[in-house]
Amino acid sequence: MMPGRCRWVASALLLALHGLLCLQLGARAEMQGDDGSIEDGSSIHFPVSPPVVPDGAEERREHFRALAAKDQFRHERLLAMSSSAARNGSRRQARQTSKVPDVLSDTSEFAELPMRSALNIAHVGMYLVSVRFGTPALPFNLVLDTANDLTWISCRLRRRKGKHYGRSSPAKTMSVGADGAPVKKATTNFFRPSKSSSWRRIRCTQPVCGALPYITCEPTETASCSYHQKVQDGTVTIGIYGMEKATVALSDGKMAKLPGLVLGCSIMEAGSNVDAHDGVLSLGNGEISFGVIAASRFASRFSFCLLSANSDRSASSYLTFGPNPAVMGPGTMVTDISYNDFIRVAFGFHVTGITVGGQPLDSIPPEVWNDKVKYGGVILDTGTSVTGLVPAAYDAVTGALDSYLGHLPRADIAGFEFCYNWTFTGDGVDPAHNVTIPSFEVQLKGGAVLQADAKSVVMPEVHPGVACLGFRKLLDGGPNIIGNVLMQEHIWEFDHRTGLMRFRKDKCANHHLKDGSDSNSTANVHQAPRYVN
C-alpha cells in the first residue's frame, strides 16, 4: 500500500525526496516494466569495457604521468572536502539514512548498468558507466565515482540558446574500435531538461533545496535550486537541481523506469577531463547519491567488477543494483563497511594490517588504519587510480616490495618513486631475472583478506620495459586510498543497510547474470563476525 511504501524516512532530505516520489507514483508503479509488472527475480544488465592504455612508448609515459598527476590533485581536493565536512556536521552516514520500506528493500530483483572506458578517459584511469536518463530516455556516459555524492550531466538549458560553458565546441570523445585503434565518437551528449517530460526542477523555495549539498541559493529566492561543486580531481560543476528518472533494461527484454533520482543539470564545467565524458555517476555515501537512491529500490546494495586495463578489449563487466549472484562464490570475503568521520561522502573498510610475502608489516602504527582519527582509516575510491598511503604505511610497503626488486636497474618515471627496467607478464615470476613479485595481502576486520593481483602491486609497462610499484605517498595526510588499480579483477558488493561489504577475486568478464540455483550458497563464503559498538 502507498502508506507502507512511504512511511519510513530518516532525515529531512529523504522525507522531501520520498514525498516527491510518492506524489509521482503509486505502489508497484514505482518500478515497473512496459506491461506494468516486473517478475520476481528479474534483473537488469549491461556490458562494461575495461580501461585502455596506449600502446606507443611516449603515449604510455604521458598516460601514467597524467594518471599520477590526476591522483595527486584528487587527493588534495579530498583533503579540502574533509576540512569542509568537519565544519559542517549536517551530512549523515548512508547506513543511518538509506533504509527504505520493507516492500522495497526485500525485493530479490537486481539491476545492472553498463560501464566502459573511452580512450581519453583511460589517460586518467577512470571507468565510464552508461545510463539512460529522461523521457524519452537518452544514454549518457558517466564517470563511476565512489567518493562523490552528486550525480550530474552536462546540460543545455533553453534560455542559453544551445551554449554550454566549459566545453569545447563541439565536444568530442574517443572510443576504441575492434582493431584497438582510436575511433572518434559523436559529439558529447547534452541533457536538455526542456525535452524531458519527467524532469522536475527543484526551486530554492522548496524545503528539499535547503537540505541538498553544495547549494548556492537562498530559500527566499524563486529561482531554480542551484549548486556549485568542486571535487577531488579539480573538476568544477555549476548547475541546477532537479528530479529525474532513469530507464533500465530488464533481463527479459522489458524496460523499467527508476524514478526519484536527484540529478544535477550542469550548465558549466571546468577541469582537464570534462570533454571526455557526459558527467558523473555518484556511488558515494550521501543521501542524494545515485548509489544510495538506486540501491534503496534493490535491497539497499550495489556491486561492480572492474576489469583490468590489460584485459581483452572485447571483454565486459558491470555495475549491479540489487542482489548479485556473481558475488557469492569460492573465496568470497565479508567485512564491515567503514564510514570515515572526516570524509563523509566516501566509505571503505577497517584494515588491521598488511603482509608482504607472508610477513606482517608490524612497523605500521595502528592509528594509520583508525578512521576515527583525522587523516586515518581507508577509503575505496574508483576515481583514484594508484593506491595512496600515508608515509608510515607507504615506506613500510614500498620498502618490503623493493627488497624483492631492488637488484633490478632503476628507471625514472614522473609520478612514481619505485620503477625498474624490467618486463613481466603473467603472475610476476621471472626466474631469468631472479624476480618473484611477493604476495600482497590487506588484512581486514573480522578476518577477511584482500589478496591483490601481482599487476596491481607492480604496474607493468608503465613505459615499455619499465614496471613501477603501484603506490603513491600521501605527503599531505590521509585517509589512505585504495584506488581502482588495486580494486581491479575483484567483484565488490556494498550493502549499506547491513553495513557489510563482500568481495572476491574475479576476472569480471562476461558473466552478467549467473544462473545457478546454488550461486547464492554461503558454503564458500568467509563470514566475518558481526561487531556491536
* Calpha distance 237→349 (Å, rounded): 29
What would the pLDDT profile of 289-316 be if each residue is shown by its tens digit?
A: 999 988 888 888 899 998 887 766 666 6
Structure letter (DSSP) for residue 410:
B
Highest mean pLDDT among 78-92, 317-331, 359-373, 418-432: 359-373
Task: Report the candidate in 440, 438, 429, 530 with the shortest Cα–Cα distance to residue 485.
Answer: 440
Residue bearing the bigger pLDDT, 520 or 24: 24
120-134, 159-173, 205-219, 261-275: which has the minimum mean pLDDT?
Answer: 159-173
What would the pLDDT profile of 230-285 be if each residue is shown by its tens digit?
A: 866 567 889 999 999 998 766 566 778 889 999 999 998 775 555 567 889 999 99
* Calpha distance 211→91 (Å, rounded): 9
Highest mean pLDDT among 119-123, 124-128, 230-234: 124-128
Please give the pLDDT value at position 48. Answer: 54
* Calpha distance 247→408 (Å, rounded): 53
8-17, 363-372, 505-514: which has the minimum mean pLDDT?
Answer: 8-17
Q: Is 275 a catalytic residue?
A: no
Across the range 424-438, mean pLDDT stands at: 86
* Calpha distance 370→351 (Å, rounded): 8
End-to-end CA distance of the chain: 36
* Calpha distance 263→192 (Å, rounded): 12
Residue bearing the bigger pLDDT, 96 or 286: 286
The DSSP annotation for 468-531 comes to EESEEE-TT---EEE-HHHHTTEEEEEETTTTEEEEEE----S-TT---TTTT--TT-B-PPP-
Residue bearing the bigger pLDDT, 299 or 13: 299
Q: Which amino acid is at 321?
A: F
Residue 339 has which C-alpha cell?
A: 564510514
Residue 395 has pLDDT above 80, yes or no: yes
Mean predicted lDDT score pLDDT of the chain: 75
55-69, 110-124, 288-302, 398-412: which has the minimum mean pLDDT?
Answer: 110-124
Read off the pLDDT band of 343 (50, 70, 90): confident
* Calpha distance 47→317 (Å, rounded): 6
Beta carbons of 348 and 337 less than 8 angstroms apart: yes
Residue 33 has pLDDT above 50, yes or no: yes
| Residue among 149, 233, 381, 453 flagged as catalytic | 381
Residue 122 has pLDDT above 90, yes or no: no
Residue with cell string 532513469: 246
Residue 78 has pLDDT above 70, yes or no: no
Across the range 390-408, mean pLDDT stands at: 97
Task: Report the candidate in 258, 245, 280, 298 with the shortest Cα–Cα distance to residue 98.
Answer: 298
Residue 496 has pLDDT above 70, yes or no: yes
Stated pTM of the model:
0.79
379, 381, 387, 391: CA torsion to nearest 10: -40
| Helical (H) or strand (E) element with 52 | none
Please give the pLDDT value at position 226. Answer: 95
The DSSP annotation for 324-361 comes to -GGGSSTT-EEEEEEE-SSSTT-EEE-EEEEEETTEE-
- The beta strands (E) that lie in 73-224 are given as 111-113, 115-116, 128-133, 138-145, 152-154, 172-176, 182-187, 200-201
Residue 47 has pLDDT above 70, yes or no: no
Residues 6+ apart with CB under 8 A from 58: none
Task: Give the count of beta carbons closer than 10 Å to the beta carbon of residue 117.
Answer: 29
Read off the pLDDT band of 221 (50, 70, 90): confident
Question: Of how many residues is the chain composed?
Answer: 533
* Calpha distance 356→396 (Å, rounded): 10
Q: Is 278 a catalytic residue?
A: no
Residue with cell string 556549485: 228
Please give the pLDDT value at position 317. Answer: 82
Please give the pLDDT value at position 324. Answer: 84
Residue bearing the bigger pLDDT, 478 or 289: 289
Please give the pLDDT value at position 100. Answer: 24
What would the pLDDT profile of 145-154 be if each residue is shown by its tens digit?
A: 999 999 999 9
